[in-house]
Amino acid sequence: MKKYFILFLCAALILAACISLKSLAVYEPGIWEGEGEGYNGTIRLLVETDSSSIIDITVLEQNDDAMIGGEAISELKEFVLETDSTDIDAISGATQTSEGFINAVDDALLKARMKK
């Protein structure tokens, strides 16, 4: 009887862990395109996700100044990947570029979110 109890307990713990891991899934794994309006036009990105985080961001298009906007986008990409969030501050002097980039990432993540 004790052997069956331990077996049942192990099975219950494994099942609970699987259910718990499933509830952590936020995104459908894949690559998602997003757009946002920067200072000089549309910023288009590809955002790669696994089930729970942002893996990579690739800039497809951006028309903002290479020195200011390009540098800001590079920093913003690092911040988003480090924090796994778009809840970050804009880069001073490149506010519209920052907002466009963040909106583009949010647009892609909205498409990646799992429907529950």
Question: Domains of the chain: which residue ranges?
Answer: 30-112
Reported confidence tier of residue 20, pLDDT bands at 50, 70, 90: very low
CA distances (Å), 4 to each of 7, 12, 14, 24, 54, in order?
Answer: 5, 12, 15, 30, 42
Please state which of the four CATH numbers 3.40.1350, 3.90.1010, 3.40.50, 1.25.40 is assigned to the domain occupying 30-112. Answer: 3.90.1010
pLDDT at 21: 45
34 neighbors 109 (Cβ within 8 angstroms) = yes
pLDDT tens digits, 50-101: 999 999 999 999 999 888 889 999 999 999 999 999 999 999 999 999 999 9
The structure's pTM equals 0.79
